[in-house]
Amino acid sequence: MNARLNLPATIISAWLTLRAPVAADLDQLVALTNNWKVSESTAVMPFPYRQANGQEFLDGLAGLDAPLAYAITADGSFMGVASLTSS
C-alpha cells in the first residue's frame, strides 16, 4: 500500500496552509527557485530554473490522485513547495 494515498489534499495549520500547486504559483515558484543556494541543496532541480522548468513541474502534478507536492502558503502568499518522493 502506498502511504501517499492517505494524505489529505490540503493541510491547514494556524501558520501555514499546504495545498496543491496551481498555475497561479508559477511566477513566484520560478522567482524563488531560480537561486543557486536553493538548487545546490537538491539532487534534481536545474539551475538556472526557468518558466519552462516550473511549468513542467506543475504539468507533472496535474491529474494525480494523491498529492506528490504541496505548495506552502501563509496568509495566501506562496512561499515554496514541499515535494514527496517514494523510497
Distances (CA, A) of 39 to 11, 18, 46, 49, 60: 26, 21, 7, 8, 19
Q: Which residue has the cell 532541480?
A: 45
63's grid cell: 491529474
- Average pLDDT of the chain, as a whole number: 87
CB contact set of 86 (below 8 Å; sequence gap of 6+): 2, 4
Higher pLDDT, 51 or 85: 51
Structural domain boundaries in the chain: 3-7+14-80
For residue 25, the tally of other CB atoms under 10 A from its CB is 20
Percent of the chain with pLDDT over 90: 61
pLDDT for the residue numbered 1: 43
Range of 2-16, 22-36, 71-85 with top mean pLDDT:
22-36
Q: Which pTM value belongs to this model? A: 0.81
Residue range 41-60: average pLDDT?
91
pLDDT for the residue numbered 4: 47
